[in-house]
Structure 1
């Protein structure tokens, strides 16, 4: 994809490149980073991934516990939006502290686009769960979740050019933020 960092690249071109980045990174191929823009514009446009992940999110929620279509839907959608914004904001300070500040736009763009692969894996496990013998569905969901964690670790390590141990810190930060948001959403949905 020529000139992705050049001015004048359309949103459509960046979205196509983002899907390509997700496909390559999901398979553990660092060259997927070439398809994300190392600019704030590229990072901003990478949030289109949230739009493409909304349907899988709603399907996972509906198939899991039916909450996607309950009275708590507005709260679920607020939680979904927070999940896409809080981690990027929180990670900026951590990236700066690790001396990798200029790579933050690349990291967040790659993180956003690889959410496509993570949601695809989780949706696949959710869809297959009822078709599998007892215990296998849960194991498949655990494998999909493990894959999602590995992918986030791989993106942090590759995009920020840090060690695997340091990349774990970003995964833990995202998990802590996600668990906090999920707990608040659960409490507000019951209220």
Structure 2
């Protein structure tokens, strides 16, 4: 069942509150199993920005690779990247005794991706334009990446009611999975 615009805006309001380190953001995110499943619509919202980031990243790398191959590989990688961490998190949440918090964590994690893309995309586009000196562009990208990792840490810590160290470990798991998927997909191009 497609989400309504109002439901999406409500979820994004919660994700925005979490981005401001306001734990009450979890109160407006649908933390039911249905809400967790519906939160994968965030992948559709993020897709145009992701496609632009992908074009920027791969522009000089794909060379003579057929467009159909690039689209196929990167489409599969996109789906895998949206499902790998939630699947891993399911097992981890069970092992940590946090299974009841898992749906809310997935919903918050997925909707937070929209906020992250909203911040990250303009910085990457600006960096790619060459308008800024390289050191400044790299510093800006690094700073935004650190802010996004901190945001993820807060979302996971809040949604699962974890210690800071446990939430940081989950962020590292997510980074590892993302890097592995990206490297594997790039190797197929």
Structure 1 and Structure 2 fold alike (TM over 0.5): yes
Structure 1 residue aligned with 2:12? 19
Q: CA separation of 1:57/1:70 partners in 2, compared to 1, >3 Å: closer, same or farther? A: farther
Equivalent residues in 2 for 1:35-46 (5 A)?
Answer: 35-46=28-39
Larger RCO, structures 1/2 (Cα 8 Å, 6+ apart)? 2
Equivalent residues in 2 for 1:77-96 (5 A)?
Answer: 77-96=75-94
Structure 2 residue aligned with 1:150? 150
- How far off is 1:114 after superposition? 0.4
Determine helix, strand or coil for the equivalent of 1:30. coil
Cα distance between partner residues in 2 of 1:171 and 1:105: 17
Cα distance between partner residues in 2 of 1:70 and 1:165: 44
Structure 2 residue aligned with 1:30? 23
- How far off is 1:14 after superposition? 2.3
Determine helix, strand or coil for the equivalent of 1:162. coil
Cα distance between partner residues in 1 of 2:181 and 2:147: 21
- How far off is 1:17 after superposition? 1.1
1:51-97 Cα shifts (integer Å, max 9, x gaps): 01001101112223327996212211111111111110111111111
- How far off is 1:111 after superposition? 0.1
Any gaps of 5 or more consecutive residues in structure 1? 1-9
- How far off is 1:43 after superposition? 0.5
Structure 2 residue aligned with 1:160? 160
Give TM-score, length-normalised by structure 1: 0.89
Determine helix, strand or coil for the equivalent of 1:131. coil
**Between 79-88 and 61-70, the greater mean CA deviation after superposition:** 61-70
- How far off is 1:158 after superposition? 0.4
Structure 2 residue aligned with 1:6? none
Equivalent residues in 2 for 1:90-109 (5 A)?
Answer: 90-109=88-107
Structure 1 residue aligned with 2:49? 56
Give TM-score, length-normalised by structure 2: 0.89
Cα distance between partner residues in 2 of 1:65 and 1:85: 22
Determine helix, strand or coil for the equivalent of 1:29. coil
Residues matched between the structures, number: 181
Cα distance between partner residues in 2 of 1:142 and 1:76: 24
Contact 1:56–1:119 (8 Å) recurs in 2: yes
